[in-house]
Amino acid sequence: LSTNWRSYGLSQSRGSLPSGPVTVMVHMASVWVPFTSESKEAIASYPEIQKEIRLALQAVGRKLGMYLRRRLKVAQEGQRRTIFLRYLGEVATSVATINGGNRDKIYEELLRVAKKKTAEADIKLDESGKPLEEPEELNLGDNVIIVSQHDDQEATSEVTDSETEEKPRKKPRKKVKKKIIKKRRVKK
C-alpha cells in the first residue's frame, strides 16, 4: 500500500514511511476475516481488502491534511498580526506628524483595522473550513482522534474513571396482552 503522504502535509523521504507525530491504526471488523494462519496474526492480502485499506488511508490523509493546513494558516495569521502590531506605534506617530492629527486616535484606528484584517488568527473553523460561532472541537469524524502530548495523561485518567462508572439500567418493558382471535370454521 504505497501512499504519498507528502500531498497530505507530512514529510516523507522517497520509498520510506512518513515522519511525524502520527499513528495510523487500521481495524478490520467482519464476520469472516481471512487470516493467514490459525494464530490470527495477519490478514490475507486479497485485492479487495488492500483497495479498501488504501481508500481508508487516503480519506484519513485528506482529513489530516485539512487539519494541518488549517493549523498552519492560523499560525501564519498570528505571526502576521504580531508583525503588524510591532510597527503600528511608529506608523501612527509618523502619520500624526505628517497630517497633524492625534496619535492615539490614529493608533486605535490602525489597531482596529489590523485586528479586522488578521481576524483569521482568532477564528475557529470546522472540518469544511467554515467558521464556528462557538469555539468547539473540530469534528473530523467518529474515526479520528487528535491527542496532544499533554492530553495523554488526562485521557488515561478519563478511561479509568469511565470504566468504574455503573451502566444505566434498562427500563422494564410494558406487558402487552395479546388478543386471541378464534377463526370460525365454515361448514361445507
What span, in angstroms and rounded, lies between the C-alpha atoms of 73 and 45?
40
Q: What is the mean pLDDT of residues 115-141?
A: 64
Whether the CB-CB separation of 118 and 77 falls below 8 Å is answered with: yes
Higher pLDDT, 52 or 157: 52
Residue 181: pLDDT above 70? no
What does the pLDDT read at residue 20?
76
Q: What is the mean pLDDT of residues 61-84?
A: 84
B/e letters for 100-129, b = 16+ CB within 10 Å, e = fewer, are eeeeeebbeebeeebeeebebbeeebeeee
Residue 98: pLDDT above 80? yes
pTM of the entire predicted model = 0.55
What does the pLDDT read at residue 51?
92
φ and ψ at residue 101, rounded to 5 degrees: -95, -175
Residue 79: pLDDT above 80? yes
Residue 136: pLDDT above 70? no
